[in-house]
Structure 1
């Protein structure tokens, strides 16, 4: 199905059941994912039939294949598609940050660009958000993969990394490696930014007083391309980053303090 047809179906079905006071920007970081772009954008268009998605922001992290060419070609066909380009690979955290800054909607949904995250699961994030949300509440909904469709080495390394991270940071999240997340834009941009911070988003959100909710999501096998992140580069760099994240958490300000300016007119 083409995006145009999917979007037409979305417009036809989009009714009161999909409305919310907060609208969504979907942020998709990509590096050399040309073969997956058209299919994923089509699926996001189908998901918008039941979700208040108003824009899709692709962040091309310095791809050397036809990723940027494909995105430029689709921009004329997909009105809600916006493209941000890095002139060289800066990493997933930088791509998240660039997408969040470019976004114009109140809620951000982050997802991978390799088709392993299912855009249909955005509806699950929205449902959980509605259950928890109240006026002024700071809520983030994090996807957790029920079954991982990855190689044995990637699954084992992920389990070990998650256990170590949970022990050090106590973030209450089983699977931080799942990119599918819904976060208020203002809450995301208030986080301390550092390279690889995307691996520690639950802990950073808790640090800033954001309540976390979790939902089980699907995880599909990769059909085209290959992962851009190997075991050793994640393990070696991740250990250093984990210590840095722990330091940041222990140096946080209390979230309930209220600074008060003293008026000159007040009695001494």
Structure 2
């Protein structure tokens, strides 16, 4: 693991958005550290304006974990903003996101990272897909309906876009448009940039402490509005440019086409 914030950039950054998760985070951070043993990594926990002393706990925890970094929003800004804050401060080339409530099992992180690494540079996202989800019947039904509608409208090739466990290439994240609830549409946004998406099945757990901070109907209304917004964004992006290097790339391949999935001579799709 990365032993110091002053050391070379780690291979992997793990971003954990957290709102009032003081009791869940110590175990979760230990589990993430164990899952990535043998790799260079850092953990960034983003405290989204918690009232339960989460930031104080993170300050204490970082004393024995130099690879742990804590960030805090002065007021609650939401999960998407928290994920974005973590990603913007991450130093690893691959960034893993995982919910702070402990329902996502960190044991699946190596599988996500491996899937992304093995897929090559044309694939920018490895998305977790929950199976045997441990949630209330109402939540499961709402999630199933939302995923079917999203899939039909966006054609994002993803069964479950709401899973918090994902691995993304940081340089691709920096190209994506941002809006609230953005994290729920990562597969569609990544495909919009011309990159591919791969999937890994995961099994969630019951949270150890506390209750969910999200209501079914609150998410349904906001999600419906955002869904049509993402549909509009994808419709407006008619084509990802095919760029060829023809001259002036000293020390690099001087020719070669950058395909729509970003793979050629180490280059990525060029934004319009």
TM-score (norm 1): 0.85
Instruction: Describe how 1:139-154 pairs up with structure 2 within 5 A.
Output: 139-154=124-139
Do the aligned partners of 1:138 and 1:187 also contact (CA within 8 Å) in 2? no
User: Which residue does 1:39 correspond to in 2?
Assistant: 27
Between the aligned partners of 1:198 and 1:33, the Cα distance in structure 2 is 19
2:185 is equivalent to residue 200 of structure 1: yes
Between the aligned partners of 1:197 and 1:159, the Cα distance in structure 2 is 19
2:90 is equivalent to residue 100 of structure 1: no
User: Which residue does 1:249 correspond to in 2?
Assistant: 234
CA shift digits 1:9-30 (9 cap, x unpaired): x99xxxxxxxxx9810000000
Larger helix share, 1 or 2: 1
Instruction: Describe how 1:1-268 pairs up with structure 2 within 5 A.
Output: 23-50=11-38, 52-133=39-120, 136-252=121-237, 254-258=239-243
CA distance 1:229–1:53, shift in 2 (3 Å): farther
Do the aligned partners of 2:10 and 2:42 also contact (CA within 8 Å) in 1? no
User: Which residue does 2:261 correspond to in 1?
Assistant: none
Total equivalences in the alignment: 242
3-state secondary structure, aligned to 2:99: coil
Between the aligned partners of 1:259 and 1:93, the Cα distance in structure 2 is 35
Q: CA deviation at 1:91?
A: 0.9
Do the aligned partners of 2:49 and 2:76 also contact (CA within 8 Å) in 1? yes
Unaligned runs of 5+ in 1: 1-6, 12-20, 262-268
Between the aligned partners of 2:158 and 2:109, the Cα distance in structure 1 is 19
TM-score (norm 2): 0.84
Tell me how large the CA RMSD over aligned residues is: 2.2
Do the aligned partners of 1:22 and 1:107 also contact (CA within 8 Å) in 2? no
Unaligned runs of 5+ in 2: 4-8, 247-272
Runs of 4+ in 1 over 2 A off after TM superposition: 136-139, 256-261
Do the aligned partners of 1:138 and 1:209 also contact (CA within 8 Å) in 2? no
Q: CA deviation at 1:56?
A: 0.1
